[in-house]
Amino acid sequence: MQTTPLTTVRSATPADVHALARLLTDSFQPSDAWWQWTQGWVRSGLAQDLESRLTRPPASYRCLVATMSGFLAGTVEVAHRPLPHEWWWLPQVASPQDPLYISNLAVTPAWRRQGVASSLLQEVEAIARSLCHPRLYLHVMADNIAAVQLYQRSGYRLERVEKNWPLFNPRPSSKLLMVKVIM
């Protein structure tokens, strides 16, 4: 695992799930009143999902945690995932032949702009190299300027712009599929 003077990156354990669920809901849920009302419910569902992924991990699944001075500073997950296709609504089962896909990258607000996300992405690249996977994929909303800048600066390039189905996601922005070729 990688250590810099400030950031330590390690694998998540089941003891982390509640803190991680809080970080993810705080980072990804809108802050309006309706979402605030559902937050406890969403958080406990997320904690259960995380616990099940950590205790019965799918092939090549990793969840990383970054700490700064001992405090939870950020997280990211990586796993095999089929890329979305025209028949997106059909159930898709991930297999080790699928590309490696990054999700749930989030940094605690107090620790942002201090290289935490960049350290997590570097560690994910090391994992992909160790698995001999030449590419890493991720999705980002086009209006998430901080994340788009982070990924561009980290060497990710636009693969394609995807439809954002308004029925399931009221956010008007489009969704970008980005890729980094690492070997």
Ligand X SMILES: CC(C)(COP(=O)(O)OP(=O)(O)OC[C@H]1O[C@@H](n2cnc3c(N)ncnc32)[C@H](O)[C@@H]1OP(=O)(O)O)[C@@H](O)C(=O)NCCC(=O)NCCS
Binding site for ligand X (CB under 6 A): 27, 105-107, 112-118, 140, 144-147, 149-150, 153
Which residue, 91 or 170, is less far from ligand X as judged by CB?
170
Q: Scan for tokens 């996300």, then name that residue.
A: 117
d(CA 9, CA 19): 16
How far is C-alpha 8 from the geometric centre of its chain's CA atoms? 18
Which residue, 55 or 174, is less far from ligand X as judged by CB?
174
Do 180 and 156 form a contact (C-beta atoms < 8 A)?
yes
> How do 7-11 and 62-68 pair as beta strands?
antiparallel
Minimum CB–partner distance for residue 119 and ligand X (Å): 7
Which residue, 38 or 152, is less far from ligand X as judged by CB?
152
Q: What is the CA radius of gyration of the chain?
A: 16
Which residue, 67 or 118, is less far from ligand X as judged by CB?
118
Tell me the Ramachandran region of residue 157: left when phi exceeds 0, alpha when psi lies from -120 to 50, beta otherwise.
beta
Minimum CB–partner distance for residue 132 and ligand X (Å): 25
Which residue, 18 or 112, is less far from ligand X as judged by CB?
112
Minimum CB–partner distance for residue 150 and ligand X (Å): 3
Minimum CB–partner distance for residue 143 and ligand X (Å): 10
d(CA 74, CA 104): 10
Minimum CB–partner distance for residue 171 and ligand X (Å): 12
How far is C-alpha 4 from the geometric centre of its chain's CA atoms? 21
